[in-house]
Chains A and B, each alone.
Chain A
Amino acid sequence: MDYFHIAIVTLESTIRLSVPIILAALAGLFSERSGVFDIGLEGKMLAAAFAGGAVGAVYESAFLGLLAAIAVSTSLALVHAFASITQRGNQIVSGVAINFIALGATVILGQSWFRQGGRTPQLSGNGRFDTVTLPFADTLANVPVLGPIYANLISGHFLLTYFAFAMVPITWWILYRTRFGLRLRAVGENPGAVDTAGISVTRMRYMAVICCGILCGFAGAYLSMAVGAGFVKGMTAGKGFIALAALIFAKWKPVNVMLACLLFGFLDAMAILMQGRPLPLIGEVPVQFMQALPYILTVILLAGFIGKAIPPKAGGVPYVKER
């Protein structure tokens, strides 16, 4: 029973830790599938977390906070789009720039508006998202095995958590079953062909990058308004890059993205759980190794030692219309 309990707790924190990565990785999926690389997931998420935390605290409304998070993240996405689509600048350079601007601006603005060392005020009541208890969760909690699974794993999460998991099939459906999705994928593989068909490459890519901005907004809002109660300086702590890693690990496919994020979330949860506990046979695994494992796995995958990650063909290349 004890092991069962530990397993439930670990899986629960796996879900909690993987939600922001799922949202950010899906965001990156839209952008990169259209041929626009996005190193700036981290920055957009951070700016969104700050906007959500700040607006949520001032207006005491989680909904307004979420809107602000999406607005800020989308406007950063538009900067990236302008630089990399309209100006045909280097997409990686632009992403790096956005990360730094977000990292600095959130602290400077936070300090001047709230004077709490770069934090936003603690969110409470309506300013923060509540967890949702699914029907009968309390009554069923006592049922052996299935009860705790239902009460702790399936019920009792934030609305944004359910949203994140719902976005996985939705993204799949958009990408593979709609005209928009077909064009989006085509624009990332062979923009010339899409252009010949009379569809604007620029417009498609802008729309994809805006989708990316919106989803990063949700990811940021989750961090500062659901799982955390307010913005803390640098709170994304590399999650944007983990999402990038997950996206590559998932070979740019929506369902794989969810699985990769769950795996990385699980590794994170295990790292916390195993701190100071020796494993049978192996002995104690250093926490640092567990923390580095997602990155190591991604490098190994990228190197083609376990399968091959092939990015969208036109990724990173600005489209120049033929004259």
Chain B
Amino acid sequence: MSAPYAKLPAWVEYGLIPLINLAVAFLVAGLVVLIVGESPLKAASLLVQGAFGYGEGLGFTLYYATNFIFAGLAVSVAFHCGLFNIGGEGQAYIGGLGVALVCLWLDGVMPWFITFPIALLGASLFGAAWAFIPGYLQAKRGSHVVITTIMFNFIASSLMVYMLVEVVKPLGSMAPQTRTFLEGGQLPRLDWLLSIFGFDIGGAPFNLSFIVALVAAFFVWLLIWRTRLGFEIRTMGASPSAARYAGIKQSRIIIITMMISGALAGMMALNPIMGDQHRLQLDFVAGAGFVGIAVALMGRSHPVGIIPAAILFGMLYQGGAEISFEMPNISRDMITIIQGLVILFAGALEHMFRPAIITFFATIRGARAAPQATEAGE
């Protein structure tokens, strides 16, 4: 995705340009709000109020953010390798099966702190396994990972309907879901964490998975920037031919990266299943896997960017639900638009404003120093 442009100061490259892109995305979203006949400013203030204004709202915001951190990390790890994993949705869905099977097995006999690490393992194994096949096919058979992961989302969805309707549903029950987990299959909520800051989270399902997500973000940083494997992954992403020349086994890196990505997506299932619903049900991922794409693009595939981006989307999710009470014209579907706009402006159109910015900085520099001829981008 790199382009032959003049070099910019780091704060412009990593601060200003993403912010401008984001601002444009939100401006366009504001236009949609105007078209619908509501005030964008009022909508924005309701949004922030609903997401951060009181304890329960904040709890929900962070609960949603937890999903998006995992999903964003999953997409970004693949991005570093030059792979686009659109399959986070399916991998998380299958990861949920891993969590549920462990919980159904152990919840009656073990306390949660024993079930929890095994469920985490189950989630990541199932997610990684689901991502392994597209990774393997990309590495060994050359089938494009984007297409295969899209196909695998649909296959996952069919498979999970089958599993829920035919296999894991308790006998005699009509609803396609597992039984509710006992206490051993439920993660403790983090109400104490927010009460330190004087918030009461009320009924919000903000739980231990949030901490797991932060730890995962740290490990992703460690992996990508501080290990040999991470270096190989980034080399692959920057230049596959250079990687081959350096003796890096390409297919191995592709498969491993996809499995790590799938494992991270799978872990996402921990949050809604063990942390909130305490059972496996249809469509519990609810598009969070796709939000990960926007989060990763917005956070520039770096954990330090992903966490705030995820919290921003958590805010949109929670605040969006609140807005719809006050403004019936604006439902949570507004978030889908914003998500699309963020992907468009921070992803596909990320270089749109760059030439203008380069010219701008060139003229400033030119005015300050001796009038040298500066080469602006096109």
Contact = CB atoms under 8 A, between A and B. Distances in A.
Contact of B154 (A83, A92, A238): A238
Interface stretch (B11-19, B116-124, B252-260, B331-339): B331-339
Contact of B344 (A83, A105, A248): A83
- Nearest 5 interchain pairs by C-beta: A100-B340, A104-B336, A104-B337, A101-B340, A94-B348
Contacts of B337: 100-101, 104-105, 108
Contacts, number: 152
Interface string B142-171: 111011101110110011011001100000
A101 B341 contact: yes
A20 to B, nearest CB: 16
Interface in A103-124: 103-105, 107-109, 111-112, 118
Nearest to A100: B340
Interface of A: 39, 79, 83-84, 87-94, 96-105, 107-109, 111-112, 118, 238, 241, 244-245, 248, 286, 288-289, 291-292, 295-296, 298-299, 302-304, 309, 311
A109 B32 CA distance: 9
B137 A291 contact: no
Main secondary structure of the interface of A (DSSP, over half): helix
A39 B159 CA distance: 23
Given A96-B293, A241-B150, A299-B137, A104 B351 contact: no
B297 interface: yes
A136 B142 CA distance: 52
A45 B155 CA distance: 22
Interface residues of B, number: 52
A218 B329 CA distance: 29
B132 to A, nearest CB: 13
Contacts of B154: 238, 241, 292, 295
A88 B351 contact: yes
Given A87-B352, A99-B340, A292-B159, A39 B143 contact: no
Nearest to A309: B143
Contacts of A289: 158, 162
B51 interface: no
A292 B352 contact: no
In this complex, the member of B147, B150, B350 whose beta carbon has the largest number of chain A beta carbons within 10 angstroms is B147
A108 B340 contact: no
Nearest to A95: B348
B137 A83 contact: no
B348 A111 contact: no
Contacts of A311: 144
A296 B158 CA distance: 11
Given A111-B329, A309-B143, 16 more contacts: A39-B146, A39-B150, A79-B344, A93-B293, A93-B297, A96-B347, A103-B336, A104-B336, A105-B337, A107-B331, A109-B35, A238-B154, A245-B151, A295-B154, A299-B137, A304-B142
B348 A89 contact: yes
Contacts of B338: 104
A309 B349 CA distance: 30
Interface in B29-46: 32, 35-37
Contacts of B330: 108
B165 to A, nearest CB: 8
Contact of B141 (A295, A296, A303): A303
B147 A244 contact: yes
Given A245-B151, A299-B137, A97 B343 contact: yes
